[in-house]
Amino acid sequence: MLTPLSRLLDSALDRSVVLGYTSIGSGVRRRLPHWPDDPAPGSMEGRRVVVTGATSGIGEAMARSFLDLGATVHLLGRNPDKVADYARQLRTEVPNADVVEEVCDIADLDAVRAWCADLSDRVPAIHGLVHNAGVMPPERTE
């Protein structure tokens, strides 16, 4: 539980955007009382997580974090070369990395259905899905 003062500081960081969403925000929050510690290394051993949009940005970082915690990570991207390149990099950088390469264009719902059916045949269960793939275009279009 955050104390009222910590909650106020947390909210102020968020509202300022720049302070909350840069390394300043994580640095300050780390020092707040009752802010939870990072999970222990190995705490996700035996867990299987799918990360969509894992070839860039936030997805790339999350995939790496789950691997560092010992999870099996399914890297999903739409570009097979990018998926293969990042999987190779992770296998080189993270000891015993258990990485599964997945290719699917999530904008194609038939492809999503086919990929889900295929995944269900290949694995007994997934414990986490980070559905992060997406874009933020400057203008809304339909």
Residue numbers of the site for ligand NAP (CB under 6 A)?
A: 53, 55-59, 77-79, 82, 105-107, 132-136
Longest C-alpha distance within the chain, in Å? 50
Cα(31)–Cα(25) distance, integer angstroms: 10
Min CB(42)–ligand NAP separation in Å: 26
Min CB(93)–ligand NAP separation in Å: 18
**Residue 40 vs 136, nearer CB to ligand NAP:** 136
**Residue 70 vs 99, nearer CB to ligand NAP:** 99
**Residue 12 vs 107, nearer CB to ligand NAP:** 107
Question: Which residue from 59, 66, 67, 65 is spatially nearest to 83, judged by alpha carbons?
Answer: 59
Min CB(81)–ligand NAP separation in Å: 9
Cα(113)–Cα(106) distance, integer angstroms: 9
Residues sharing a CB contact under 8 Å with residue 127, sequence separation 6 or more, in sequence order:
47, 48, 49, 71
**Residue 42 vs 80, nearer CB to ligand NAP:** 80
